C-alpha cells in the first residue's frame, strides 16, 4: 500500500482488507459483502452483541449463503464478529480490559510508524497528511454532527502514517486494529474539546516528523492514541457502573 492508494471516505471506510484498497473491482463477492457489513457494524447499524443472520444477509444481497459465510469469516478475522456454535455470527463487544489492551498495542504501532517517517523524511511525501490535518482543524469549529467525519479522517491519517513507511505488514495490522476499535475511538473523540486536543496533537506530530525528530514523533503519536484510549475507557466504565 502506498500513500496514493488511500482515498477519503467520510465514514465509508473502504475494503476490510487494506491490500484491496484500490477499488471494488478488485474485490470478490464475499469481500464486497464483508466490506458492506463492516461499515454497517462500524456505523452502529448492528449493535455490539447483535446477531447477524445469514439468511437475512443472503436476501439483502440476493446471493446464496456460501459467500455470506465466507464474508462472516472475513469479519471474524478482522475482529468485528465472533462465530459461535448454533448462534452464528455475533457482533464483537470488547470488555474494558480488551479495549485497553488493543489501544495500547495500536499506540505502539502508530508510534513506530511515526518514528520511521521522521527517520526517512527526505524521501517521504507528506502532502496528503498535511491536507487531512487541515481538514481536522476545520472540523473542530463545526457542529457535533461532523464528529463522524472527524473520526473517519483521523483514522485515514493513521493509515497514511503507516503506509508512508512502506511496510505492508505494519499497515495491515493497524488496519485490523482500527476495525476492532472504531466504536471506541468514536467515543474518545465524541466532544468538541477532545477533537480540538486531537487536532492540535496531529499538528504537533506533523511538525515532529518534518523536523526529523524521531523520539518526539513516536512520543506524540502514542499520546494521540492514548487520549482516545483514556476517554473511551472512562466512558465504558461509567456505562458499566450505570448498568
CATH for the stretch 96-242: 1.20.120.530
φ, ψ (nearest 5 deg) of residue 68: -70, -45
Report pLDDT digits (tens) over 127-154.
999 999 999 988 887 665 677 788 888 9
Tens of pLDDT, residue by residue over 32-55, are 899 889 888 877 788 888 999 999
Nearest to 165 by CA among 111, 89, 95: 111
**What's the chain's average pLDDT?**
83
* pLDDT tens-digit map of 72-108: 999 998 888 999 988 899 998 888 898 899 999 999 9
Give the Cα separation of 216 and 208 in Å (integer).
6
Domain range 7-91, its CATH number among 3.40.50.970, 3.90.180.10, 1.10.240.10, 1.10.10.10 = 1.10.10.10
pTM of the prediction?
Answer: 0.77
Q: How far is CA 192 from the centre of its chain?
A: 20
Please name the residue ranges forming H helices in 120-213. 127-139, 147-164, 168-188, 192-210
Q: Which of 227, 221, 133, 135 is nearest to 189 (CA)?
A: 227
- Which CA distances in Å does 11 have to 39, 83, 179? 8, 26, 12
Q: What share of the chain is helix, strand, coil (3-state, %, to 5)?
A: 70, 5, 25
Looking at residues 170-178, what average pLDDT do you find? 84
Q: What is the pLDDT of residue 145?
A: 60
- Domain spans, the chain: 7-91, 96-242
* Across 99-103, 105-109, 161-165, 187-191, least confident range: 187-191
Return d(Cα 219, Cα 233) in angstroms, integer.
Answer: 21
% of the chain exceeding 90 in pLDDT? 44
Amino acid at each position: 500500500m502506498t500513500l496514493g492508494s488511500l482515498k477519503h471516505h467520510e465514514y465509508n471506510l473502504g475494503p476490510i482488507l487494506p491490500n484491496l484498497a484500490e477499488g471494488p473491482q478488485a474485490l470478490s463477492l464475499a469481500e464486497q459483502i464483508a466490506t458492506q457489513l463492516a461499515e454497517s457494524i462500524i456505523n452502529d447499524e448492528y449493535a455490539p452483541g447483535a446477531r447477524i443472520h445469514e439468511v437475512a444477509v443472503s436476501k439483502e444481497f440476493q446471493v446464496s449463503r456460501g459467500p455470506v459465510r465466507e464474508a462472516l469469516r472475513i469479519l471474524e478475522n478482522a475482529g468485528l464478529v465472533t462465530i459461535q456454535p448454533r448462534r452464528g455470527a455475533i457482533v464483537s463487544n470488547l470488555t474494558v480490559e480488551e479495549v485497553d489492551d488493543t489501544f495500547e498495542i495500536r499506540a505502539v504501532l502508530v508510534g513506530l510508524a511515526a518514528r520511521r517517517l521522521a527517520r526517512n523524511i527526505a524521501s517521504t511525501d507528506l502532502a496528503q497528511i498535511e491536507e487531512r490535518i487541515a481538514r481536522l482543524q476545520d472540523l473542530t469549529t463545526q457542529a457535533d454532527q461532523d464528529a463522524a467525519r472527524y473520526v473517519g479522517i483521523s483514522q485515514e491519517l493513521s493509515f497514511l502514517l503507516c503506509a508512508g513507511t512502506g511496510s505492508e505488514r505494519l499497515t495491515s495490522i493497524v488496519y485490523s486494529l482500527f476495525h476492532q476499535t472504531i466504536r471506541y475511538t468514536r467515543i474518545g473523540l465524541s466532544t468538541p474539546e477532545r477533537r480540538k486536543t486531537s487536532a492540535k496533537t496531529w499538528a504537533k506530530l506533523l511538525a515532529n516528523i518534518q523536523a526529523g525528530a524521531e523520539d518526539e514523533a513516536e512520543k506524540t503519536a502514542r499520546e494521540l492514541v492514548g487520549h482516545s484510549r483514556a476517554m473511551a475507557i472512562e466512558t465504558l466504565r461509567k456505562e458499566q457502573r450505570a448498568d
